Amino acid sequence: RKEVEQDPGPFNVPEGATVAFNCTYSNSASQSFFWYRQDCRKEPKLLMSVYSSGNEDGRFTAQLNRASQYISLLIRDSKLSDSATYLCVVGPRDDKIIFGKGTRLHILP
Amino acid sequence: NAGVTQTPKFQVLKTGQSMTLQCAQDMNHNSMYWYRQDPGMGLRLIYYSASEGTTDKGEVPNGYNVSRLNKREFSLRLESAAPSQTSVYFCASSELQGNWNIQYFGAGTRLSVL
């Protein structure tokens, strides 16, 4: 099992819809979880950290399920500007974090 | 705020040539990282430096060397470039706070080796 696994997509979603991604991780000792966003030909940028109780930032909601070892990202009322690749990130392992390969999201007008 | 600055942004090399990718951060972070990103492969860690004066291999170190010149700067050197090293290279820095390691990335260097 890979350390961090994501569905590569692409997810093609109409503008205004709700979309959710999951990410599974293999190391049950993982303590920190993040979602990063990467636009085409740009660097990854932190979207949000994921806390044990779940957390929300505007239209974005992140959840952690330790028992099943997955994290999720929910985007409500999707915008054209949400089109990007979303990277699931898990850590630490030897002071490093592990990046998933990303899920591509296309928001359709 | 500059954050993490990488130079150059683009580079074309011939097989066998050498070059150094430069990275500097102004956030006073202890840890710095070099990644490469290839289509379908995600981000792969090449080398990292947990603090000034230390460096460690990551997942794909072969063909690369690094230098942590000071707290701000972390350079990546290709001694004899190969076509397999054609990639986008990202530098990142972070301040480890307990289990939380939030990394901030530079804009990347797009390298083509012919």
Q: What are the tens digits of pLDDT across the range A86-95?
A: 999 998 766 7
Task: Verify cis geometry, omega within 30 degrees of 0, for the bond prior to B8.
Answer: yes
Kindly report the nearest CA distance between residue A98 and chain B, in angstroms.
9
Kindly report the nearest CA distance between residue B107 and chain A, in angstroms.
5
Q: According to the model, what pLDDT value does residue B69 have?
A: 87
Query: Span B60-86, mean pLDDT?
Result: 96
How far apart, in Å, are the Cα atoms of B111 and each of A76, B41, B68, B80, B82? 37, 16, 21, 13, 11
Cα separation of A20 and A54, whole Å? 14
Q: Quick check: B19 contacting A, CB < 8 Å?
A: no
pLDDT class for A100, splitting at 50, 70, 90?
A: very high
Which chain A residues have a beta carbon less than 8 Å from that of B31? 95
Query: Span A53-78, mean pLDDT?
Result: 95
Cα separation of B56 and B63, whole Å? 14
Q: What are the tens digits of pLDDT across the range B26-71?
A: 999 999 999 999 987 889 999 999 999 999 999 999 999 999 989 9
DSSP-derived 3-state class of residue A15? coil
Return the closest-CA partner of residue A91 out of B96, B36, B55, B107.
Answer: B96
